[in-house]
Amino acid sequence: MTHRPTTSRRRPRRSTAARGWLPNQHGAWAMLIVPFIVGVVLRSRAGEPGGAWLIPLAAAEFAAYFAFNVLGLWLHAAPARRAGFRPALITYTAITAVTAVLVIVLGGRPLLGWLPVALPLMAWAIWQASRKQDRSVTSGLATVALAVGMGVVIRFTSPSQIVSSPEDALRDIAVFVALFGYYAGTVWHVKSLIREWGNRQARRDSIIWHVAFMALTTAAAAAKLLTPAWPVFFAVCTARTWWLSAPPATRSTSNSTTQSISGSTTQFPPHSATAAETRRVTVPPATDPPPRRPRPLQIGLLEIAMSLAALVIAIS
């Protein structure tokens, strides 16, 4: 009697992204990097010292983002699968806590003045994730405000610094408002291309947002608060949203079209006595094929290019 060789089936190992170690939304990384760089450049131009506290601040920002990502995965997962996300959640939370303490030690206690602004945004984003609403518009706006706000913290180590010299701070604040307008606009833009593809209301909201910031930055440029490149930038953002999220183009037809076909050009069977008469047949409506939905990679690469353009404009 022959025995079949037994083969052990190994369970495929889950990727680092699947286990929560690496976020799969790589486009969000630009949202973390660009405001940070802008904050450092504007701080240097204002004559403020850099300081070693910026190094742990960068580590804390990325660790907090990674921790929030894996927290969302942990909250969404079934209880039996949550243990797989626990190592990444504990690691990134610990790194965030340690580096945040180093930021306060090296940067000074005035940085604590930003906590009343940051904590409500953090609480809202976490609460939305607990309700599986982390893809909502309000959750996206909260995370964008936190990311762009990091640049504000770098430029102004405490809110009192803005209050003490509002005229000097106004131009730099305008730059961060423009950055918020762009990255918040990507929340609507990406939603209209992926989760709400074909939804005319989502497309309309995205276009309205970008048009509003195009008008706002135009007024700011007229007041010498922003460079004229910002209105042009938002005009390009509006055009890219309008083009990529365009609805399928169809010819207006009814469910069926009745056409007349002349018997002289149609071959009828010999038994047909009305070959020369006009007959009516029903044919399906003719429509143009719908446009192909943009791929996430294409969307991400375009937004990286737009982020680089926003960075150049912000520091110019």
In a domain, 142, yes or no: yes
186 within 8 A of 303, measured Cβ to Cβ: yes
In a domain, 282, yes or no: no
- Sort 67 into a burial class: Cβ within 10 Å, 0-12 / 13-18 / 19+: buried
Mean pLDDT across 16-25: 69
69 within 8 A of 23, measured Cβ to Cβ: yes
The token pair at 116 is 């009343």
Q: How confident is the model at residue 111 (pLDDT cuts 50, 70, 90)?
A: very high
The token pair at 69 is 């990502």
Range of the domain at 218: 166-247+293-316
155 and 171 fall within a common domain: no
228 and 176 fall within a common domain: yes
Position 245 scores a pLDDT of: 79
Q: How confident is the model at residue 167 (pLDDT cuts 50, 70, 90)?
A: confident
Position 17 scores a pLDDT of: 54
The token pair at 111 is 């940085």
97 and 242 fall within a common domain: no
E strands within the chain? 257-261, 279-283
125 within 8 A of 139, measured Cβ to Cβ: yes
32 within 8 A of 62, measured Cβ to Cβ: yes
Segments in 49-165 forming alpha helices (H): 54-76, 86-107, 115-130, 137-155, 159-164
In a domain, 278, yes or no: no
240 and 192 fall within a common domain: yes
In a domain, 135, yes or no: yes
Choosing from 126, 145, 164, the residue where a domain stops is 164
50 and 65 fall within a common domain: yes
Q: Which one, of 241, 237, 279, 285, lies nearest residue 260 by Cα?
A: 279
84 and 145 fall within a common domain: yes
96 and 39 fall within a common domain: yes
Q: How confident is the model at residue 285 (pLDDT cuts 50, 70, 90)?
A: very low
pTM over 0.85: no
In a domain, 303, yes or no: yes
In a domain, 146, yes or no: yes
Q: What is the DSSP letter of 18?
A: T
In a domain, 267, yes or no: no
64 and 139 fall within a common domain: yes
Q: How confident is the model at residue 273 (pLDDT cuts 50, 70, 90)?
A: very low
Q: Count the domains in the chain.
A: 2
How far apart are the C-alpha atoms of 212 and 151, rounded to whole Å? 23
pLDDT tens for residues 128-160?
988 888 778 888 899 999 999 999 999 999 999
Choosing from 142, 164, 186, the residue where a domain stops is 164
30 and 72 fall within a common domain: yes
308 and 171 fall within a common domain: yes
152 and 172 fall within a common domain: no
In a domain, 9, yes or no: no
Choosing from 106, 141, 164, the residue where a domain stops is 164
129 and 208 fall within a common domain: no
Q: How many CA atoms lie within 13 A of 101 on its CB side?
A: 5
